[in-house]
Chains A and B, each alone.
Chain A
Amino acid sequence: MSVMSRISGTYRPAVLAMILVLCLGGVSLARDAITSGPGSQEPAATQADTGDTAWVLISAALVMLMTPGLAFFYGGLVRRKNMLSVLMQCFMILCLISLQWVLCGYSLAFGPDVGGRGIIGGLDWLGLRGVGAQPNATYAGTVPHSAFMVFQMMFAVITPALIIGAFAERMRFSAFCVFSLLWATLVYDPLAHWVWGQGGFMGLLGGWGALDFAGGTVVHINAGASALAAALVLRKRQGYPNMISPPHNLPLAVLGAAMLWFGWFGFNAGSALGASGLASGAFVATHIAGATAGLVWAAMDWFFHKRPTTLGVITGAVAGLVAVTPAAGFVTPIGAVLIGIGAAAFPWLAVTFLKPRMGYDDSLDAFGVHGIGGIWGAIATGLFACASVNPAVNRNGLFYGPDGAAQLLTQLKAVGISAAFSFVACLILLKVVDAVIGLRVSEHEERVGLDLTQHKEVAYTIID
């Protein structure tokens, strides 16, 4: 402590973080030295396929691009004085969670199950020990294990970034960093394990058989439920709802939404984990659902508010992409159209009626779009999943029978447990971070804006 106390208070969090990282690195290197030979207890590995590998790596790059895309989508919607803070939060998550994933996140989420209950992965792959060129047959038998790992890394990155929409314009940057790291480790990694990990208790690999092709529960319901918790814990921005200026730059939000849509092809079609017909089908379903929902949202604005809005069409498209995420590899193109319609209708109702009535300030509608859209998508997967699209579907959805009701029930269970776990865990995490560091900036800092007070920068100069 004497050393710490001599370090100026400003730098103390950074020094603590570095020590933590070094310790974790040390542990994983030490384990490397003890047990040599990568992945000795893995199933017999097959040869990596060049086409599949190329597609998964490209998909990882596409999904990576979604986080900066999200930054512009969100950044365009905040006030000028908070533009950089949102871009910075997204970019910092990209750096921070990538490192977390390498050191421990991947192992906790996808590592061999600890205790056989499908709750959490072990520490076998700490520091990516044994995660190399050799494919892992359980997850993706035709691509290098490291390709699957880095593809999944991008999902782990964007999910906490989605929550930013709920607490934008009022959270301290230091508290944000600590919260995001803890959330990724204690909320994302376990939930990813439950749904996608080998032996995870909800998923297809030894669990209930809940269908989640690319992250309806793990990514969107998870981020959405946590976003609601964040909006409640951080409370409203000063002046909400009537004294908050409108979005400061909608063209940037449109650009961000376009980047998200583009990246989503990697997110969903990449989740086929191969350059296959399944990937192609997921690609088509993804595009159709996004297009349908953008159209329907614009039409609803047109009908109920007299004009179709730009923000409406991009919000709808994103909601459609959210909703088709769990379903992309399981539904027909017409199934995707129907999912897209619901994906516009339910989030539209949520942001129009639910949010004002409940009074919470989910600033950029992270819960309204990702939470509600994600819940609809996960339920819709139980309605429209079809074994003729993907043989991995053990039981068809409700509309394709014969065991439809059973699959729908499984989906509902997965939705309920994901949402409840995420909401409660996030609530506790935020309360802890609030007690230790303090979540909110001061009233004065909030009025001045986070760009200047948190980063000593401004997004736009006025003169030259």
Chain B
Amino acid sequence: MKYIIAIIQPDRLGDVLEELQKREIHLVTVSNVMGRGRQKGIAEVYRSHTEAGSLLRKVKLEIAVNAEFVQPTVEAITSRARTGRIGDGKIFVLDLDRCIRIRTGEEGNDAIG
């Protein structure tokens, strides 16, 4: 089991969710986050005061998958979140020790999805 965390541009979220759905990856948690990388943000201007904008708005996806779904998930995200411009984001793939479905108490591979 793997735990996939993807940080993407907020405007790509709809496309990525659609692609995940197509590949039958249903379990996904989405949150609004702020972050920074090498990318320079869009400066905001308030009454002539320019905010450099050190943190940028991003969307974080968290997806738990069984081994055979890791590659489809990564492909789904990269194919739809990639614009080729700096700031497209990152995907992190982590080992997942346990997974428990709260409703039934099922554990492991059965509990995902």
A113 interface contact, C-beta 8 A? no
A13 interface contact, C-beta 8 A? no
Q: Which of B46, B48, B51 lies at the interface centre, i.e. has the most chain A CB atoms within 10 A of its CB?
A: B48
Give min CB distance, A7 to chain B, whole Å.
45
Partner of B45, one of A305, A315, A348: A305
Smallest CB gap from B45: residue in A: A305
Q: Which of B47, B48, B49, B50 lies at the interface centre, i.e. has the most chain A CB atoms within 10 A of its CB?
A: B47
Interface residues on chain B, number (Cβ under 8 Å)? 9
17 further interface pairs, Cβ-Cβ under 8 Å (given A242-B52, A305-B45): A241-B49, A246-B46, A247-B46, A301-B45, A301-B48, A304-B48, A305-B50, A307-B45, A309-B46, A311-B46, A311-B47, A315-B47, A351-B47, A351-B48, A352-B48, A365-B47, A368-B47
Residues of B at the A interface (CB closer than 8 Å) are 44-52
Chain B contacts of A352 at CB under 8 A? 47-48
- The answer for the CA separation of A406 and B45 in the assembled complex, in Å, is 42
A256 interface contact, C-beta 8 A? no
A-B contact pairs, 17 of them (CB 8 A): A246-B51, A247-B46, A301-B45, A301-B48, A305-B45, A305-B48, A309-B46, A309-B47, A311-B47, A315-B47, A351-B47, A351-B48, A351-B49, A352-B47, A356-B49, A365-B47, A368-B47
Residues of A at the B interface (CB closer than 8 Å) are 241-242, 246-247, 301, 304-305, 307, 309, 311-312, 315, 348, 351-352, 356, 365, 368
Smallest CB gap from B55: residue in A: A245
Question: Lowest 3 CB-CB distances: which A-B pairs, in order?
Answer: A352-B48, A305-B45, A351-B47
Give min CB distance, A178 to chain B, whole Å.
30
CB <8 Å contact, A309 and B45: yes
Chain A contacts of B52 at CB under 8 A? 242
Smallest CB gap from B47: residue in A: A351
Give min CB distance, A169 to chain B, whole Å.
15
Smallest CB gap from A250: residue in B: B46
- The answer for the CA separation of A241 and B51 in the assembled complex, in Å, is 10
Chain B contacts of A307 at CB under 8 A? 45
CB <8 Å contact, B46 and A348: no
Give min CB distance, B49 to chain A, whole Å.
7
Give min CB distance, B23 to chain A, whole Å.
32
Chain A contacts of B47 at CB under 8 A? 309, 311-312, 315, 351-352, 365, 368
Chain A contacts of B51 at CB under 8 A? 246
Give min CB distance, A315 to chain B, whole Å.
6
Chain B contacts of A365 at CB under 8 A? 47
Chain B contacts of A351 at CB under 8 A? 47-49
